[in-house]
Amino acid sequence: MKAQFNHTLSDLFLDQKRLKADPEADLVIQKLVDKHGTPEARRIFDTLIREVEMPMDKLPQIIQQFVRQQNSIPGWANPQKIALAQQLFIDHGPKFLMFLYFKSLPLLYSMKNGVKVLIETGRLAHDPKSEMVFSRRIAETGQFLLEVMAPEGFKGNKPAVFAALKIRLIHAAIRHFIPTEYWNEQESGKPINQEDLAATLMTFSVAMTEGLKQFNLTVSKAEEDAYLHYWLIIGSLMGIDEDLLPQKAEDGLYLLDTILSRQSAHSEEGVLLTKALTTFVSNRVESGILKTSPHVMIRFLTGKQIAGRLGVKRKRFWWLHWLLPAFLKIWFGIGERLEDRVKSFEYFSDQASKLLVRNMVKYFDSYKQRYFHLPDSLRRKWFQ
């Protein structure tokens, strides 16, 4: 698996990637429609969205066969890197959830073409365009992160593998069912195309480890590359082209920056989703520093330019925009130093992010009839 982006990331190369989605998964959905009809295919789509785990017993043989064929990790997966990435997540997972909401998702919301599909997905799920719809999407993304990164992700029933394959099938169904009148392929590329998938993968991997460094937290080059490697496995399972899977963290950052330079711009959809995101986080955290300042964290973690495109502007409490990041840098740094000296000391660095995790667990999704789930392995590591 080789990908040297400093020579291949031309506009022509990435333009071609916008015209390609996931032919293998798309063919499965087309076969499903051809054999069982559109109503049955829509029922399967709804089942995949409603069910938390992969509902194999409720899926037709066409999809079950695809899942069985795809449910193993690639041969190049490195067990040592997998273990190192999982340990990094155990050490910093609550902060990664915070980075997901204040860095990764805002970066994706700033991509003017790719963000449109997130709005259309709400229509496909037969939901009104409301904060409730977007709240569910936001919670589902956090749930996906925890499912994929749990220590048992590639063991036993392989929840990480099946979580990735389920999302892959949902993506294919979305592409099939988005009405042509709602989507201009010439202008935006295919829905959930290869360029957008690659950008998403980088926001879940290298953007996370960059978040640690933004708060002056220690992360080694080996840890950065291992965490990226872990997500390359997920990306491969989700059907991302091999030439969009960088092996080194610096190449991953270059890929993300290049795509953002092409796609990041102001859009009404991006502003709408960002507003829903900040409202969602504020509602989940009933007290504490995150309650009043999600906009501050987004501006700090994504930068003023991208935050401005998302309508996240410095208005009231202007002093928080420099005080809060500076405070958290000190807070996280003290926590790391004390952790080395006093084993029983609860990490200062995790207190704000653990507050977010604790309150996420209280979130009930009426559509799925289920609370936000924290895997037991992570619960034991973080809260016992």
**Euclidean distance between CA atoms 364 and 372, whole angstroms:** 6
Say what the pLDDT of residue 196 is. 97
* Tens of pLDDT, residue by residue, the chain (384 residues): 655 566 678 999 999 999 999 999 999 999 999 999 999 999 999 999 888 888 999 999 999 999 999 999 999 999 999 999 999 999 999 999 999 999 999 999 999 999 988 877 655 444 545 567 778 888 899 999 999 999 999 998 899 999 999 999 999 999 999 888 778 888 899 999 999 999 999 999 999 999 999 887 889 999 999 999 999 999 999 999 999 999 999 999 999 999 999 999 999 999 999 998 988 888 876 655 555 568 888 988 999 899 999 998 765 545 455 555 665 555 555 544 544 433 332 344 456 688 788 888 888 887 788 888 899 999 988 886
Summarize pLDDT for 202-252 with one digit per residue, the tens: 999 999 999 999 887 889 999 999 999 999 999 999 999 999 999 999 999
Say what the pLDDT of residue 154 is. 95
Say what the pLDDT of residue 7 is. 60
| 3-class secondary-structure state, position 111 | strand
Tokens of 210: 């960059």
| 139 touches 372 (CB < 8 A) | yes
**Euclidean distance between CA atoms 256 and 112, whole angstroms:** 15
What's the helix, strand, coil split of the chain in %, to 5?
A: 70, 0, 30
Q: Which helix (H) or strand (E) element contains residue 90?
A: helix 79-99
| 3-class secondary-structure state, position 173 | helix
**Euclidean distance between CA atoms 246 and 13, whole angstroms:** 15
Phi/psi at 10 (5° precision): -80, 165
E strands within the chain?
Answer: 364-365, 370-371
Say what the pLDDT of residue 350 is. 59
2 DSSP 8-state letter: -
| 277 touches 109 (CB < 8 A) | yes
Residues across the chain: 384
